[in-house]
Structure 1
Amino acid sequence: MTEVVVVFHSGYGHTQRMAQAVAEGANAQLLAIDAEGNLPAGGWERLKAADAIIFGSPTYMGSVSWQFKKFADASSKPWFSQDWKDKVAAGFTNSAGMSGDKLATLTTLFTLAMQHSMIWVSQGLMPSNTKAARRDDVNFLVSYSGAMAQSPSDGGVADMARGDLETARLFGARVAEIARRLQR
């Protein structure tokens, strides 16, 4: 069986809700980075045992949260021993702005995966970029590098676009399928 872990930080719950959708699609375990930037007990071991790791962070000031960055910096120990080499990797993010410089966050997640010699999986969904497209359509934000979501700055988790959450779920399913194919 393919083991997928979604490791993420969420400041206000929106990225956690997105992580849940990704995990649902991937049939994955959730691994939350806490408010101090730490993993729970056994977290590093779960990542080492995984076949695929999906990284998630909100986009704050054009990059990952400081808590996610602390986790990324602490991953130098698994990097040194090449624990994540050839594992499947992917990433997702959420911000209040329609753009919000989310691509910069996905690039940071991609770079982390490349530092670890991982195999990156793209979004794999066609964009919803026609005149007929609606906000709740899949891949409305038109991302190819990973999953993106936009949440109003004055809205709660319940205000997240259904299309963004479905995009996240489909993305998780894609990552899990690629990981399964590579295991054969």
Structure 2
Amino acid sequence: MKLAVLYHSETGNTERVAEIVAQGANEVDNVEAKTMGIEELDDEFVEEAEAVIFGTPTYLANFSWQTKKWFDTEMDYDLSGKLGAVFATENYLGGGADMALLTMIGHMLVRGMVIYSGGAAEGKPYTHYGAVCIQDGDEDQQERAEIFGERVASKALELFA
């Protein structure tokens, strides 16, 4: 099963966290996770993916305008029915990542995605909306991002395998 991790990154922080999320997803048997910047997508891989995780930096408690533009203009990708999840990076604690994630989730719902975060159902570490890292994350945040990727991949297998 394929899982795409799509992200926008200005400084490299979000790209680094995307790689950590994909690393966690790739730990699940029968999952092939691949990271891609939204500017350079592997169209075939995204179309074939059963799950898509979106990552964004946080600006003014919102996701990046580049990611917003992607959602607004890239209608070539049929995301309906795919499992969707989100993660964000921010420069400091309280930087608005929760709001950015919720806004992005709204766009994913409009595109027909089935949203999953792991929530509290999987136990600690809890992931209410999606993984969040300060910049590229400290050791604990990176571990949570990896676990998040693993949980999303496991849920995708449960739903689609």
TM-score, normalized by length of structure 1? 0.77
Using a 3 Å threshold, how does the CA distance of structure 1 residues 73 and 14 change in structure 2: closer, same or farther?
A: same
Ranges in structure 2 where 5+ consecutive residues have no aligned partner: 27-32
Aligned AA for 1:101?
A: G
C-alpha displacement at 1:178, in angstroms? Answer: 0.4
Q: Is the 8 A contact 2:56 2:88 kept in 1?
A: yes
Q: Is the 8 A contact 1:88 1:120 kept in 2?
A: yes
Matched residues in 2 for 1:74 and 1:113: separation?
Answer: 13
Q: 2:35 aligns with which of 20, 24, 30?
A: 30
Q: 2:152 aligns with which of 161, 166, 175?
A: 175
Aligned AA for 1:50?
A: A
Structure with max Cα Rg: 1
The residue that corresponds to 1:89 in the other structure is 84
Q: Is the 8 A contact 1:124 1:171 kept in 2?
A: no
Deviant stretches of 4+, over 6 Å: none
Matched residues in 2 for 1:107 and 1:63: separation?
Answer: 9
C-alpha displacement at 1:123, in angstroms? Answer: 3.6
The residue that corresponds to 1:39 in the other structure is 40
User: Secondary structure at 2:152's aligned position in 1?
Assistant: helix
Q: Is the 8 A contact 2:2 2:45 kept in 1?
A: no
Say what the alpha-carbon RMSD is for the aligned residues.
Answer: 1.7
Matched residues in 2 for 1:77 and 1:111: separation?
Answer: 19
Matched residues in 1 for 2:20 and 2:13: separation?
Answer: 11
The C-alpha deviation readout for 1:70-121, integer Å capped at 9, x for no partner, is 211123343xxxx221110000001012011111110122112101111111
TM-score, normalized by length of structure 2? 0.87
* 1:65 is aligned to 2:64: yes
User: Secondary structure at 1:5's aligned position in 2?
Assistant: strand
Matched residues in 1 for 2:79 and 2:148: separation?
Answer: 20
Identity of aligned residues (%): 33
The residue that corresponds to 2:130 in the other structure is 146
Matched residues in 2 for 1:50 and 1:95: separation?
Answer: 27
Aligned AA for 1:30?
A: T
* 1:20 is aligned to 2:19: yes
Aligned AA for 2:3?
A: V
Ranges in structure 1 where 5+ consecutive residues have no aligned partner: 128-137, 152-156
User: Secondary structure at 1:86's aligned position in 2?
Assistant: coil
